[in-house]
Amino acid sequence: MPTGVAIRDVREQLFDAAERVLLRAGPNALTSRAVTTEAGCAKGVLHRHFDDFDAFLAELVLDRIARITGQGAALRTAAGTGTVVGHVTDALTDLFGSVALGILGLIASRDALRARLRRTTPAGLPVLTEAGAVLTAYLTAERELGRLAPDADVDTLALTLIGSGHLLFAGREGEPPEPGTVRKVVTSVVGGAVREA
């Protein structure tokens, strides 16, 4: 891109470019040069907005975590409507059907990135930890509405759903599992606690 040409929403443009590189070629292909080339801008643009490439990657992950948190607010609002199994199935499909698996691979492959993310997510694996919190909050809301058994252990249910969802979606090379398969897993995990009609 020529010098002096303004780029609107440069952070989002760079984040989107990083996602495309990550999904197309994996975490090892994610370099500052690959990101700026994909974004169609000079390499210096990235370094004007971020201290270094690891800072960029950390902000990318935090931005995607913020999206998960936003989806969680919508999920909690849906409590008491539809079905618990349906909402959880959709939530897992949205989470793992997106760039989250690529982000998890990125976190696993970069020690410096994990160290930076420990400042905000001191335990667990960033993205999965926040997704688990979203499911816990939703399941708690459903339990309070009487749609889950009063003694339902929502923390364990959420952890089980996140782990099962991750294993179900991982390694499929862009081919998500059938919706019925996801629903079957969700039903197996939460079915015993569900009290809705």
pLDDT in tens, the chain (197 residues): 444 444 458 889 999 999 999 888 888 899 999 999 999 998 889 989 899 999 999 999 998 888 888 889 999 999 999 999 999 999 999 888 767 888 888 888 888 888 888 888 777 788 899 999 999 999 999 999 999 999 999 999 999 999 999 999 887 666 788 999 999 999 999 999 999 75
Q: What residues pair up with 194 in beta bridges, in sequence order? A: 148
Per-residue pLDDT, 3:
44
Q: pLDDT value at position 162?
A: 96
**Which residues make beta-bridge pairs with 10?**
none
DSSP letter string over 105-169? HHHHH-HHHHHHHTTT--SS-TTHHHHHHHHHHHHHHHHHTTSB-TT--HHHHHHHHHHHHHHHH
| CATH 1.10.357 in the chain, residue ranges | 62-190
User: Which residues is 148 bridged to in the sheet?
Assistant: 194
pLDDT reported for residue 197: 58
Place of tokens 């905000």: 120
Superfamily (CATH) of domain 7-49: Homeodomain-like (1.10.10.60)
In this structure, the number of other CB atoms found within 10 A of the CB of residue 79 comes to 20
CATH for the 62-190 domain, from 3.40.50, 2.130.10, 1.10.357, 2.60.40: 1.10.357
Report d(CA 172, CA 132) in Å as an integer: 22
Q: Can you give the pLDDT at residue 173?
A: 67
Exposure b/e, 168-177, CB count within 10 A at least 16 = b? bbeeeeeeeb
CA distance 132 to 197: 26
CA angle at residue 24 from 111 to 87, to 5 degrees?
85
Let me know: does 119 contact 59? Beta carbons within 8 Å. no
- Write down the residue that tokens 């499909």 correspond to: 93
Closest Cα to residue 131, out of 156, 162, 99, 103? 162
> Residue length, the chain?
197
| Chain region(s) in the chain for CATH 1.10.10.60 | 7-49
Over its C-alpha atoms, the chain yields an Rg (Å, rounded) of 19
**Which of 64, 152, 193 minimizes the C-alpha distance to 56?**
64
pTM of the entire predicted model:
0.86
Q: What is the pLDDT of residue 2?
A: 43
